[in-house]
Amino acid sequence: MTSGVMAHVGVTRAQALRAARPAEWVLRLSALALFVSACAAVPRDSPMVLLQFLSLAVVARLLRVPFDGATLDLEAAAIFPAVILTRSWALGAALAPIAVLLARLLQRKGRLKTADLDDAADLVLSYGASGFFYVSLASGASGDLALTLLYGGTVLVFFFTRVTFGAIHATSSATTRIPALVRAAAYQFFALLLLSPVVALVVILHPTHGYRGALLAFTSVALVSMALRNLARVRSRAEELKRQNRELETLREISTIFAGLSSDKEIFDRLFRTIAKSVPCKATATVSYEDDLDEPVFCGDVKIDPAAFQDWLHRHRDLESPFSQAAPAPVVSTRADRELALNDTLDYQVILPLQTPELLAGLLIAESDDPALIEPESVQLLAVLADHVAMSLRDRDLRRQMQTVNDRLQGRAETLQRILEVSNELKSHLTLDHVLTNIVRAVSSSLGFNIVLLSLYDRLEGVFERRAHVGLEAIWEELSQQKLAREEIARWFSEKYRISKSYFVSHLERTDLGTPVKEERRRRAFAAGEWHAQDLLFIPLTTGDQLIGVLQVDEPKSGQVPTLEDVQALEIFVNQAVTAIQSARAYETTRQMSVKDSLTDAFNHRYFQETLYRELTRHDRSGQPLALLMIDIDNFKTVNDRMGHPVGDIVLKGLVEEMQRTVREMDTVARYGGEEFALILPETTPEKALIVAERLRARAAARTYVTPDASPFSITISSGLATFPIDGNSKRALIERADQALYQAKRNGKNCVVTASSIREIRLA
C-alpha cells in the first residue's frame, strides 16, 4: 500500500484530549492549589529533616519498578514516615511532587514531560488526602494496634485516591481496557504492602538514631525493588516464552496451510481460523497482488460490497511501486478513523502489508469488536504473521510458476531455475544501501560475527566512508558521520599481516597499543586461540587492482580467532558482494539518469508529473497546503538567437542552480519543457510560497552571465503560483491555474510573480 495508507493512524488524539480535558484540568488546578497550601504549611523548625526525607524519596522514586505493563512506585517508604513523624499532612503533599520531579530531572537530564507534571499532581492530591486522614485521626488514636489500623486506613485512602486519578487519566486513551487498570491497581497495592515494614522501621529508628537509622532501614527499599524487578523479569520471560510458543505454533500452521495445493478460498478460510485462535479477529480480507487481478478473499463476518472494496483498493494501488524501499507500518484504526470498513459493527481494524524482502506481495485487513485487536502485542503478532503469510504467498506463487515451467519445458528446468534465482537476486538488491545492509547481515548471521562494519572507499577524497554495520547501534550515528583517511586502514594492509587475501592483526602486534612486537609473537599471532578485543580482521573489497571498500569483522560468535578456512569463506562471499555493489551502483546511476534532465540536472517532466501526483494525494489526506510554481525565462529566444545556443544552455543551467540553492531538500525542481521550469513546494502556504518565488526571481535577476564577446548580461524570469487545494484540487487543475498565472505575469510586463488567487479576484471584481 502507499505510505499514506500504511502510516500509523491509531486513535484520534484530539478526540481523546477533548474527552479527558475537563477532569484533568480540575485535577491539575486542585493539585496546584493544594501544593501551594502545603508548602506554606510545612513545618520549618527542622529543615535538615525535610532534606533527609526528600533525598530518601528521590532515591525511592529512582528505584521504581516497571511490572507487567504497570509501574510500582516506592517513594511511599519515605513520604509516609515523614508524615507520621511530623504529624504534618502538608509535608507529604509538598515532598512527594518535588521528589518525583527531581528524580525525573536526574533521569532525563533536565527535561520534563506533561505526564511527569500530571504524575506529580496526582501525588500532591493522593498524599495530601491520605496525610490529612492520618493527621486528623492520629491525635485520638492510642496504642500500637490503633496506630497500625490507622496506618492501614491511610494506605487504603492513598490507594483508592491513586486508582481514582488513574481512571480519570485513562479516559484520554480510547484503547485502555478496564482489566489492565484493575491489574495495575492490584500491583500497586501489593507494592504498598511490601513497603509497610520499611515504613515501620523508619518510624521506629529515626527518632532515636536520626538520619543514619532511617537510612539503614531504608536499605530495605532497595531489596524490595530488587525482588520486584526479579519477579517482573521472571514474569516477562514467561510471557515472552508463551508468546513465542504461540507465535511458532501459528507460523507452523500457516506454513502447513500454504504448503498444500488447495484453492485460495479454502487456504484463506483456514488462515482466518488460525489467526482467530491467536487474536480476537472477526473478519478478514486478504489480497494477493499476483493472483487474479487483486481479487480479494473475504472471511468471517464481512459485509462490505466487493465492488466498493475493489474501488478502494485500485485507488491506492495506482500509486504502488512493486518494489518497496522499506516495509510499511501497520495501520491501526477505530470506527471513526477508518477509510474502509469490512463490517460497520466491528469497531477496531488493523491493515497490514504482506511485505517480502523483494516486493509488496499483498494486503491483509483484520477487524474485530474487541479492542484487544489493536493492542501493541496483538498488532506485533499480526505483523509477524503477515510477514510469514507474505513469504508463504510469494513461495506459493514461485512454486506455481516453477510447476508451470516444468510442465511446459521439462528439459530446460535447470536453466530456468537459474534465471529465476538471478532475477530474485536483482530484485532484492536494487539499491546500494540495501546491498550493503544485506552484506553485513549475511556476514553476521551466516559467517558468525557479532560486529560487522562495511566501509566504501572514495577515491576522489581518499577517505573511507562507513556505510553499513551490524552490532554498532549504540555508536553508529556518530560513527557514520566520521570519514577515515585511507592511511588509517591501509596501514594494516601489509604482507606481515596477510592471511590469504585478507589481513589479520593480532593484539600482540598492535604497536599503536604500545605492545612490543616480537617475531615469535608474529608467528603465533594467527594461531588458534581466543579472540581478543583488540584483534583486527580486514577483508578488502577489490575489483581488478582497484580498491572499492573494506569489510571489518569483530567478535566471532565462537569466541575464537577465525581459521584460514573461515577467512577464505569470507573472501568468497566478499567477491560476490563486490559484484552486487557494482550492480547496485550501476542501477542507481541508471535510475538517476532516467529521472534527471541531462543538461540542467533538474528532474525531468515525467518525474515531475509522478511527484506532483504523489504529493497531491498525500496532502489531500493530511489537509496541508502545497504550492506549485511555474517559471519561464523572459525573452529566452532572444538569448539563443543573439548569443547562440551554448550560451542559452549556460543560462538554463544557471537558473537551475539558483533554484536548487533557494529551495529546501524536500522541494522538487523540474524542467517542464524548453525554458519553462516547475517547482513543487510541499507543506507550504501561499504566503510562504510567494516569498520563495520573489526570492528566486531576485536571485535569477542578480546572476550575471557572459556573452561570447565577454559582455556581461543577466536574465529575468516570470512566475505563476498556484496553491493546493485553494486554487485547484487535482493535478490537472493545479497545473492549469499555475500556467494561467504565468501567462498573466508575461502580460504584466514579465519579471514578476502572479498568483492564481489574484487572477480569480480580478475576474470576480
Instruction: For residues 675 and 22, give the distance between their C-alpha atoms in angstroms, rounded to a whole number.
Output: 59
The single-letter code of the amino acid at 262 is: S
Largest CA distance in the chain: 110
- Counting beta carbons within 10 angstroms of the beta carbon of residue 294, is it exposed (0 to 12), middle (13 to 18) or buried (19 or more)? middle
The single-letter code of the amino acid at 633 is: I
Q: What is the 3-state secondary structure (H, E, C) of 242-255?
A: HHHHHHHHHHHHHH
Cα–Cα nearest to 486, from 452, 457, 454? 457
In a 3-state reduction of DSSP, which class is residue 40?
A: helix
Cα–Cα nearest to 269, from 285, 247, 246, 291? 285
Q: Is the peptide bond before 725 cis (omega within 30 degrees of 0)?
A: yes
- Catalytic (active site) residue 675: yes
Candidates 24, 358, 367, 675; catalytic one: 675
**Residues 6 or more apart whose Cβ sits within 8 Å of residue 289:** 317, 322, 360, 361, 362, 363
Retrieve residue 177's grid coordinates.
481496557
In a 3-state reduction of DSSP, which class is residue 580?
A: helix
Instruction: For residues 614 and 515, give the distance between their C-alpha atoms in angstroms, rounded to a whole number.
Output: 60
Instruction: For residues 372 and 379, give the distance between their C-alpha atoms in angstroms, rounded to a whole number.
Output: 9
Q: Distance from CA of residue 362 to its chain's centroid?
A: 22
Instruction: For residues 54 and 299, give the distance between their C-alpha atoms in angstroms, rounded to a whole number.
Output: 60
Given the C-alpha cell 544552455, which residue does it identify?
Answer: 649
Contact 350, 374 (CB under 8 A): yes
DSSP string, 438-505: HHHHHHHHHHTEEEEEEEEEETTTTEEEEEEEES-TTTHHHHHH-EEEHHHHHTT--GGGEETTEEEE
Instruction: For residues 248 and 437, give the distance between their C-alpha atoms in angstroms, rounded to a whole number.
Output: 27
Q: Residues with catalytic annotation? A: 675
